């Protein structure tokens, strides 16, 4: 029996990145022998075991044969005669197909070290096309390692395009699609994930609402980049710089989806696109089972980003409606999320990337002023029941009016 460290731990060590998880591959043994040594089996589809002390995963070396569509349609062979090279051959990318023994010796039969040095994301073999999930995984790796200079190899991108044309992407479950999107949003360069999916023609299949934005013009005065799809990528890039909150990044990705539905005879203008986009976001989130907190913030940003940009022009009553709609009185954390997504929208334009966004501070100040109104004096003044809520609203509007009069030139 031989044990090798494999996958991401070896790759990340070579890249001098922190190692999160350590996975091991075991060659030349059987499930029975693993159990006899105290390992606990956890894998259902193929033999994976937990070490009796460290609880780290140890998987028997295996080969796979595709038996049906989708990423679960494989039969596995984990016999003791499966070799290290055979196991590594089934992996997706060469940088993930490097093994290391307990002496530190690397086993790299498919050129993973060279591809790390050349900053290439390259498939291990032609069987790459058998697993449609690899389209999303490679796009995610491209987003994660973009900051290090990695790009997808042309021949790998060609295979990803082949998968897109095969119909196999439709076999992916909604939950897995969202999981890969969520992981990509957590990278330093989530916009690259969308870009790579578009390059291999998977975006139109997996996220047609986003794909539809490319080629849609915007007024050049406000959007020198013109193309709404390009703007969306730029906004997502800015959101990743401004916040580590994935729900903010998700909202940035979807904030302009309504522009794809603007009447052609009104282009490049997009009147009411924020409200048009709400139904699109609801359908998008329902289809891939997006968590409610992501969905609700995306709807809020889509609906209100134009108002936040023009915050100084709004009447006190309108500001109250925004605060009420966002439910900021009970969920004040949403304010930071909302204005961060709006700031990303403002900076996600060609030539505006480094501009300040004074609206952010203005909204915080005006909300804090309104939120400082106490309920106790209203109750003590004799108001009852629904009157309390109505009077609280009036008092808050008074405070907002006073704030706006004092800070007319803040934005």
Q: How confident is the model at residue 70 (pLDDT cuts 50, 70, 90)?
A: low
Domain-located, residue 30: yes
Q: What is the mean pLDDT of residues 18-38?
A: 91
The residue count of the chain comes to 411
pLDDT at 71 over 80: no
Domain-located, residue 46: yes
Cα 163–chain centre separation: 22
| pLDDT given for residue 72 in this prediction | 65
Token code pair at residue 271: 């009147």
- Tens digits of residue pLDDT in 81-107: 899 999 999 999 999 999 999 999 999
Question: How many angstroms separate the CA atoms of 242 and 183, rounded?
Answer: 17
End of a domain among 59, 74, 108?
108
Q: What is the CATH number of the domain that holds 69?
A: 3.30.460.10
Domain-located, residue 103: yes
Check: CB of residue 22 under 8 Å from CB of residue 9. yes
| pLDDT given for residue 410 in this prediction | 53
Domain count for the chain: 2
Domain-located, residue 311: no
pLDDT at 411 over 80: no
Q: How confident is the model at residue 69 (pLDDT cuts 50, 70, 90)?
A: low
Question: How many angstroms separate the CA atoms of 252 and 242, rounded?
Answer: 11
Name the phi and psi angles at 173, rounded to 5. Answer: -75, 150
3-state secondary structure 290-326: CCHHHHHHHHHHHHHHHHHHCHHHCCHHHHHHHHHHC
Check: CB of residue 132 under 8 Å from CB of residue 165. no
| pLDDT given for residue 157 in this prediction | 98
3-state secondary structure the chain: CEEEEECHHHHHHHCCCCCCCCEEEEECCCHHHHHHCCCEECCCCCCEEECCCCCCEEEECCEEEECCCCCCCEEEECCCCCCHHHHHHCCCEHHHCCEECCCCCEECCCCHHHHHHCCEECECCHHHHHCCHHHHHHHHHHHHHHHHCCEECHHHHHHHHHHHHHCHHHHCCHHHHHHHHHHHHCCCCHHHHHHHHHHCCCHHHHCHHHHCCCCCECCCCCCCCCEHHHHHHHHHHHHHHHCCCHHHHHHHHHCCHHHHHCCHHHCCCCCCHHHHHHHHHHHHHHHCCCCHHHHHHHHHHHHHHHHHHCHHHCCHHHHHHHHHHCCCCCCCHHHHHHHHHHHHHHHCCCCCCCCCCCHHHHHHHHHHHHHCCCCHHHHHCCCCCHHHHHHHHHHHHHHHHHHHHHCCCCC
Domain-located, residue 281: no
Question: How many angstroms separate the CA atoms of 207 and 211, rounded?
Answer: 6
Domain-located, residue 380: yes
Name the phi and psi angles at 368, rounded to 5. Answer: -60, -35
Range(s) of the domain holding residue 381: 370-406
Closest CA to 1 of 37, 27, 24, 36: 27
Check: CB of residue 70 under 8 Å from CB of residue 86. no
- Tens digits of residue pLDDT in 202-242: 999 999 999 999 999 999 999 999 999 999 999 999 999 99
Closest CA to 115 of 91, 84, 82, 87: 91
Closest CA to 321 of 296, 303, 336: 303
Domain-located, residue 273: no
| pLDDT given for residue 312 in this prediction | 87
Check: CB of residue 197 under 8 Å from CB of residue 132. no
End of a domain among 86, 108, 130?
108
- Tens digits of residue pLDDT in 302-355: 999 999 999 989 999 999 999 999 999 999 999 999 999 999 999 999 999 999
Q: How confident is the model at residue 47 (pLDDT cuts 50, 70, 90)?
A: confident
- Tens digits of residue pLDDT in 372-391: 999 999 999 999 989 999 99
Check: CB of residue 122 under 8 Å from CB of residue 93. yes
End of a domain among 39, 73, 108?
108
| pLDDT given for residue 166 in this prediction | 96
Sheet holding 2-6, edge to edge: 40-41, 48-50, 57-60, 23-27, 2-6, 99-100, 106-107
Helix crossing, 228-242 with 190-199: angle to 10°?
150
Question: How many angstroms separate the CA atoms of 218 and 173, rounded?
Answer: 34
Domain-located, residue 150: no
User: What share of the chain in percent tops pLDDT 90?
Assistant: 88
Neighbours of 331 (CB within 10 A): 12
């Amino acid at each position: 029996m031989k044990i090798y460290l494999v996958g991401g731990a070896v790759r990340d060590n070579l890249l001098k990145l922190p190692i999160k998880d350590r996975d091991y591959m075991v060659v030349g043994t059987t499930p029975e022998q693993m159990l006899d040594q105290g390992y606990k089996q956890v894998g259902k589809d193929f033999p994976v075991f937990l070490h009796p002390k460290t609880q780290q995963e140890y998987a028997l070396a295996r080969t796979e044969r595709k038996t049906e569509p989708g990423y679960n349609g494989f039969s596995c062979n984990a016999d003791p005669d499966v070799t290290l090279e055979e196991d590594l051959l089934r992996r997706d990318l060469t940088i993930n197909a490097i093994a290391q023994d307990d002496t530190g010796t690397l086993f790299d039969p498919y050129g993973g070290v060279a591809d790390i040095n050349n900053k290439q994301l390259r498939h291990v073999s032609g069987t790459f096309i058998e697993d449609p999930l690899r389209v999303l995984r490679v796009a995610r790796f491209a987003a994660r390692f973009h900051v290090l200079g990695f790009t997808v190899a042309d021949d790998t991108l060609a295979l990803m395009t082949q998968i897109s044309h095969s119909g196999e992407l439709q076999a992916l479950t909604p939950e897995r699609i969202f999981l890969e999107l969520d992981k990509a949003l957590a990278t330093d360069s989530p916009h690259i994930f969308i870009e790579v999916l578009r390059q291999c023609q998977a975006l139109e299949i997996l996220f047609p609402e986003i794909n539809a934005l490319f080629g849609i013009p915007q007024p050049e005065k406000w959007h020198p980049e013109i193309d709404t799809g390009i703007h969306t990528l730029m906004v997502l890039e800015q959101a990743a710089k401004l916040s580590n909150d994935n729900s903010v990044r998700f909202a940035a990705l979807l904030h302009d989806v309504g522009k794809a539905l603007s009447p052609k005879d009104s282009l490049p203008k997009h009147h009411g696109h924020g409200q048009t986009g709400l139904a699109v976001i609801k359908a998008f989130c329902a289809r891939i089972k997006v968590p409610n907190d992501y969905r609700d913030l995306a709807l809020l940003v889509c609906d209100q980003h134009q108002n936040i940009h023009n915050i100084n022009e709004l009447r006190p009553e309108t500001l109250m409606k925004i605060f009420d709609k966002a439910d900021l009185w009970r969920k004040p954390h949403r304010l930071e999320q909302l204005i961060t997504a709006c700031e990303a929208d403002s900076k996600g334009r060609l030539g505006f990337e480094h501009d300040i966004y004074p609206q952010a501070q203005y909204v915080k100040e005006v909300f804090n002023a309104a939120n400082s109104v106490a309920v106790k004096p209203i109750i003590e003044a004799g108001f009852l029941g629904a009157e309390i809520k109505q009077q609280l609203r009036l008092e808050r509007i008074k405070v907002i009016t006073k704030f706006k009069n004092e800070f007319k030139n803040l934005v």
